[in-house]
Amino acid sequence: MRIYMQHRGGDGNAPRFYQLILQEDLLGGWSVVRQWGRMGSRGAFRKDHFDTLDSAQEALVSFRDHQLKKGFSIMFIHGGQL
**Per residue, what are the HEC states of the chain?**
CEEEEEECCCCCCCCEEEEEEEEECCCCCEEEEEEEEECCCCCEEEEEEECCHHHHHHHHHHHHHHHHHCCCEEEEEECCCC
End-to-end CA gap in the chain: 10
Please count the structural domains in the chain: 1
| pLDDT(78) > 90 | yes
Report yes or no on whether pTM surpasses 0.85.
yes
- Res. 81 pLDDT band, cuts 50 70 90: low
Q: How confident is the model at residue 82 (pLDDT cuts 50, 70, 90)?
A: low
- Tell me the mean pLDDT in the region 6-24: 90
CATH of residue 23: 2.20.140.10
Question: The domain containing residue 9 runs over which residues?
Answer: 2-78
Range with the largest mean pLDDT of 38-47, 53-62, 73-82: 53-62
